Structure 1
Amino acid sequence: MFEVHAHLAVGNGIFFEPVVQYVVTGDPYWNPYAANRSKDGVDVGATRIVPLAAIFGLAPG
């Protein structure tokens, strides 16, 4: 698998993490009962991180 990801600060402690993965010769490890073996492909996703303590004004730690 080849992966490219980033960690971007949006503001006020909020972050956005996009990711793009290219899977080469995928295997059925996570789905051993799959009828077909997966082919090469692209996976795109993102994560948004919102620290609730910072938003509510609570002290970290």
Structure 2
Amino acid sequence: MYFTDRGIEELVERRGGEEVSLSWLADRLREFVDLNPEFETPVERLATWLARLDDDED
């Protein structure tokens, strides 16, 4: 188990029944980076990965 799994599990446990828009998620990611600028690169990588999930891998 990765350390991040605990946070993901907590997220699912506390908010798993909610529906949110991608705009809401983007705003929360921006807010997080504003408060924690050292995480700018990992958040950018996560956002890019999510944005490209349906892209065909050629």
Q: TM-score, normalised by structure 1?
A: 0.23
Q: Which structure's residues are more often helix, by fraction? A: 2
- Comparing both chains, which one has the higher relative contact order based on Cα–Cα distances under 8 Å and sequence gaps of 6 or more? 1
Q: Quick check: which has more Rg, 1 or 2? A: 1
Q: Which structure's residues are more often strand, by fraction? A: 1
